[in-house]
């Protein structure tokens, strides 16, 4: 990488290059770089680094209802968390939720992208339909699903009764609530994942398929030896982003179940929200947020460490 | 086409210019005292509130009240926490009843008693049972504004169909169970109609305990010194939980979840025949149900004397940070809100109680009651309430958290856990929250 960076100030033939001048030039180039970076540094600082620092700071304090630190707590919040059953419960729910949503979302989106990859008459209609959930906010989508799941008037139970099944209280039953929210979430996330994968597919050089056909490869063989390796950077990106998103799920939980029944859907971010904004325990909520941050950092690190090896960059 | 576009743009510019100039006019008028009023009235309620404020601003040229919607009570309170004591804080803040202790302890509010005394205002004209809730240590801290109580709502058509007199709704637990059994209708494995339902929401549990005279926390519900321990897991709480457990086991109780709209939809769809709702929702339910709707009192266990209900809803708080002038203007507005005509309008259009009982004599209310006799039931239930610490309601800062624990306990009931065990756990979790709150 380094050899491709050209020096910002090429030495002028008439200048006498002393060490001091070189250092000045380096300083100048550094400053210039900083000027370019300034807008993004400012935004990151205000919206990312400051809140992160503040969260770390609050996680070792007791706070009043306004979120002002009152008394140093040390690691008390972290110790209390580790001893709290509902913390472990919400960790389990979050992992299960991610395991339910991420692979399914990617697999379904991949399938849909393959279906509409080839150019046919009217294919644009299907592409638009498959990508359409992208344009819907979590709130709107959740309300739609809330009505579909409604045990009394929801369409899902009506269809169930029509074919002779017994109605299910999807969001009110401890055993089905998390699956129901996961199904809604998969539907919500398909749009964007589908679009990214379709774009990835379109980028694959058609001549490769041509060669594969000449070599007499079957469709599945082509899929496995040409499409998947060349799409792997996109697949990797999509999986990483979906996983982070799944670990941070909040909106649909707030709309559909409020963490219930009996905490069955009390995923991590929702638990943090409740602790901070319903219970006004900003200290222990911050501690939970730090734990979540560490978990996401670890998972993402592991993904890059192991999964990225299988990624084929052209 | 181009012409249309051009004229459209011109119109927009004119609109913009007009918008600017009218704002300028507002500033230029000066001399007006501005009162920022944060509230949580959404849906059908917000336009009614805005109408009342507009009337006030028109009749009080020296004051400009600016209502600002700030989300649900919980959301508004969180926002208020962030700005309390700064100049961004509103002059008047609407907060739900369970936030009362939180507001007092914040130290950022002026008790309205201060202005009642200054103005020598006669509060005896206010509804005594409502004022009681907001009276702490003998002082009225906030101005009761929108108050509601729980009621039993039932489907009269379903009653007739099941052979029950629709004018004799169940008043005791055994009557409730019996009626629910008759009202439940099965088709094969599926239950077409359930007898009864209670929303998984802490407020209903609190009310069903209070109506028996049971306390929620110790020290007279926290009104005689700070509460240190939850006591809702006593006999009264157990009776409520056992009722739900028994009825759920019999298949006559419908688990409606935590969402008000889901429960109301189930009732309107004929899926449940009786349920508990807030009196503030009565009118909407009557209008939206395709059958005859009856309204009755909260049922009590057999042999237990009815004590009455706790006031739900919200009240208005005055902020310490605002100037004397703003406070005075805010007080003027609060007084205006309690006048009989305004209260009559408020009661009729929303279903909330009138703070000022004189409103019930206004022709507006009389006409409405003739049309909706059910509205009167809610008022009668309030009037028959005996004022005790139980019906005054609990005063604790950690109410929102405690409610979560109670909701969880209700949900665990459906999973088949023992009522006492579920209650004990909720009480213990509330105790922990109570101890943590002192910090």
Q: What is the pLDDT of residues A69-112, one digit of tens each?
A: 888 888 888 988 888 888 899 999 999 999 999 999 999 999 99
How close A240 comes to chain B (CA, Å)?
32
Nearest to B65 by CA among B332, B341, B320, B319: B332
Contacts with A62 from chain B: Cβ below 8 Å: 439
Residues of chain B that touch chain A, judged by Cβ-Cβ distance less than 8 Å = 74-75, 78, 81-82, 84, 102, 106, 189-190, 200, 255-259, 262, 265-266, 269, 271-272, 397-398, 400-401, 404, 407-408, 411-412, 414-415, 433, 436, 439
Chain A, window 250-269: residues with a beta carbon less than 8 angstroms from a chain B beta carbon: 257-258, 260-263
For the four alpha carbons of A95, A99, A105 and A106, in that order, the dihedral sign comes to positive
Residue A280 has a pLDDT of 83
Numbers of helices and strands, H then E, in chain B: 20, 13
| Unique residue bearing structure tokens 């890059």 | A304
For residue B196, the distance in angstroms to the closest alpha carbon of chain A comes to 14
Encoding tokens for residue B204?
A: 């209903």
Strands B272-278 and A61-63: unpaired
DSSP, res B223: T
pLDDT band at A13 (very low <50, low <70, confident <90, very high): low
Nearest CA distance, B30 vs chain A (angstrom): 34
Smallest Cβ distance to B190: which of A153, A161, A261?
A161
> Measured between CB atoms, which of B257, B269, B272 is closest to A171?
B257
Percentage of chain A lying above the pLDDT 70 cut: 94
A66/B81 touch (CB, cutoff 8 Å), yes or no = yes
Measured distance CA(B77)–CA(B184) in Å, rounded:
41
Superfamily of domain B150-308+398-437 in CATH is Periplasmic binding protein-like II (3.40.190.10)
Domain with CATH 3.40.190.10 in chain B: 32-148+312-371, 150-308+398-437
ipTM above 0.95, yes or no: no
Closest Cα in chain A, distance from residue B282 (Å): 20
- Report chain B residues whose CB lies below 8 A from the CB of A280: 81
pLDDT 10s digits, A84-96: 888 899 999 999 9
> In which element (H, E) is residue B419 found?
helix B419-437
Q: What residues of chain A, 40 to 99, have a C-beta less than 8 Å from chain B?
A: 62, 65-67, 70-71
Q: What is the distance between the alpha carbons of residues B112 and B122, in angstroms, rounded to a whole number?
A: 13
Domains of chain A in sequence order: 2-58 (no CATH), 85-310 (1.10.3720.10)
Contact at CB, B415 and A169, closer than 8 angstroms = no
pLDDT digits (tens, 9 = 90+) for B319-368: 888 888 889 999 999 999 988 999 999 888 888 888 888 888 888 898 98
% pLDDT > 70, chain B: 92
Q: Residue B409's closest chain A neighbor by CA?
A: A262
Q: What is the mean pLDDT of residues B67-77?
A: 89
What is chain B's alpha carbon radius of gyration, rounded to the nearest angstrom?
24
In sequence order, which ranges of B353-418 are alpha helices (DSSP H)? 363-371, 373-383, 389-392, 399-414
From A192's Cα to the closest Cα of chain B, the distance in A is: 30
Banded pLDDT at B232 (limits 50, 70, 90): very high
Angle of helix A138-149 versus helix A177-202 axis, rounded to 10? 130
Rounded to whole angstroms, the Cα distance separating B97 from B157 reads 35
How far is the C-alpha of A199 from the C-alpha of B282, rounded, in Å?
53
Per the CB < 8 A criterion, the answer to whether B295 and B278 are in contact is no
Tell me how close the Cα of A89 comes to any Cα of chain B, in angstroms.
Answer: 14
Of A65, A169, A262, the CB nearest to B81: A65
Question: In chain A, which residues have their Cβ closer than 8 Å to the Cβ of B82?
Answer: 66-67
Q: What percent of chain A has pLDDT over 90?
A: 41
Q: How far apart are CA B20 and CA B17, in angstroms?
A: 5
Interchain CB contacts (distance < 8 Å): A and B: 75
Rounded to an integer, the average pLDDT of B170-195 is: 89
Specify whether the CB–CB gap between B143 and B133 falls below 8 A.
no
**3-state helix/strand/coil string of B120-144:** CCCHHHCCHHHHHHHEECCEECCEE
Compute the mean pLDDT over every residue in chain A, rounded to the nearest whole number: 87
pLDDT at site A272:
92
Whole-number Å distance between alpha carbons of A212 and B261: 58
Which top CATH class is B32-148+312-371?
alpha beta
Q: Give me the phi and psi of B137, to 5 degrees please.
A: 50, 40
Q: Is the peptide bond before B122 cis (omega within 30 degrees of 0)?
A: no
Q: Using an 8 Å CB-CB cutoff, list chain A residues near B106.
A: 65
State the smallest CA–CA distance between residue A46 and chain B in angstroms.
Answer: 18
CB contact under 8 A, A260 and B407: yes
CB B40 within 8 A of CB B69: yes
pLDDT beyond 60 at A8: no
């Amino acid at each position: 990488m380094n050899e491709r960076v050209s020096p910002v100030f090429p030495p002028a033939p008439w200048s006498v290059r002393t060490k001091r001048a070189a250092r000045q030039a380096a300083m100048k180039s550094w400053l210039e770089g900083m000027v370019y970076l300034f807008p993004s540094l400012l935004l990151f600082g205000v919206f990312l680094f400051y809140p992160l620092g503040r969260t770390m700071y609050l996680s070792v304090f007791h706070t009043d209802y306004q979120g002002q630190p009152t008394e140093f707590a040390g690691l008390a919040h972290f110790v209390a968390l580790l001893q709290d059953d509902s913390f472990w419960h919400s960790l389990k729910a979050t992992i299960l939720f991610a395991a339910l949503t991420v692979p399914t979302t990617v697999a379904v989106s991949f399938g849909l992208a393959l279906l509409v990859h080839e150019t046919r008459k009217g294919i644009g209609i299907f592409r638009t339909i498959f990508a359409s959930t992208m344009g819907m906010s979590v709130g709107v989508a959740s309300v739609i699903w809330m009505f579909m799941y409604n045990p009394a008037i929801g369409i899902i139970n009506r269809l169930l009764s029509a074919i002779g099944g017994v109605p299910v209280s999807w969001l009110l039953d401890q055993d089905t609530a998390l699956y129901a929210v996961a199904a809604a979430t998969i539907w919500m996330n398909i749009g964007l994942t589908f679009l990214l994968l379709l774009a990835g597919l379109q980028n694959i050089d058609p001549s490769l398929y041509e060669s594969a056909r000449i070599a007499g490869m079957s469709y599945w063989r082509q899929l496995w030896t040409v499409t998947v390796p060349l799409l792997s950077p996109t697949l990797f990106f999509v999986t990483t982003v979906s996983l982070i998103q799944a670990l941070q799920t909040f909106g649909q939980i707030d709309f559909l179940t409020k963490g219930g029944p009996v905490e069955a859907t009390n995923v991590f971010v929702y638990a943090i929200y409740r602790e901070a904004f319903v219970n006004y325990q900003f200290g222990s909520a911050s501690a939970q947020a730090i734990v979540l941050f560490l978990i996401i950092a670890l998972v993402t690190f592991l993904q890059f460490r192991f999964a990225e090896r299988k990624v084929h960059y052209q | 086409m181009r012409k249309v576009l051009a004229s459209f743009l011109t119109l927009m510019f004119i609109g913009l210019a007009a918008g600017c100039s009218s704002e300028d006019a507002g500033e230029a008028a000066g001399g007006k005292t501005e009162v920022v009023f944060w509230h949580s009235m959404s849906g059908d309620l917000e336009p009614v509130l805005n109408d009342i404020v507009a009337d006030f601003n028109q009749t009080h040229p020296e004051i400009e009240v600016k209502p600002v919607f700030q989300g649900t009570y919980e959301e508004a309170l969180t926002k208020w926490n962030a700005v309390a004591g700064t100049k961004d804080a509103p002059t008047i803040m609407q907060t739900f009843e369970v936030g009362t202790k939180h507001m007092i302890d914040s130290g950022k509010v002026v008790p309205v008693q201060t202005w009642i005394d200054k103005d020598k205002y006669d509060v005896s004209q206010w509804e005594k049972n409502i004022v009681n809730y907001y009276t702490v240590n003998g002082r009225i801290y906030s101005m009761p504004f929108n108050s509601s109580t729980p009621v039993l709502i039932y489907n009269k058509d379903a009653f007739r169909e099941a052979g029950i007199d629709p004018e004799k709704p169940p008043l005791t637990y055994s009557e409730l169970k019996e009626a629910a059994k008759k009202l439940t209708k099965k088709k094969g494995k599926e239950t077409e109609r359930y007898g009864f339902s209670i929303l998984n929401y802490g407020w209903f549990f609190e009310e069903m305990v209070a109506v028996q005279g049971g306390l929620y926390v110790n020290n007279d519900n926290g009104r005689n010194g700070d509460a240190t321990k939850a006591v809702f897991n006593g006999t009264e709480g157990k009776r409520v939980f056992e009722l739900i457990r028994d009825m759920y086991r019999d298949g006559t109780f419908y688990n409606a979840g935590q969402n008000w709209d889901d429960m109301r939809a189930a009732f309107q769809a004929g899926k449940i025949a009786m349920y508990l709702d807030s009196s503030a929702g009565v009118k909407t339910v009557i209008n939206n149900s395709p059958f005859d709707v009856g309204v009755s009192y909260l049922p009590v266990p057999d042999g237990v004397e009815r004590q009455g209900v706790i006031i739900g809803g919200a009240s208005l708080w005055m902020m310490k940070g605002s100037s004397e002038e703003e406070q005075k203007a805010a007080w003027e507005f609060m007084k205006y809100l309690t006048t009989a005509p305004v209260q009559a309008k408020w009661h009729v259009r929303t279903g909330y109680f009138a703070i000022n009982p004189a409103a019930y004599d206004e022709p507006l209310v009389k006409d409405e009651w003739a049309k909706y006799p059910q509205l009167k039931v809610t008022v009668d239930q309030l009037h028959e309430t005996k004022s005790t610490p139980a019906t005054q309601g609990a005063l604790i800062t950690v109410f929102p958290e405690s409610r979560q624990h109670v909701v969880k306990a209700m949900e665990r009931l459906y999973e088949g856990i023992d009522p006492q065990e579920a209650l004990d756990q909720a009480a213990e979790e509330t105790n922990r929250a109570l101890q943590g709150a002192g910090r």
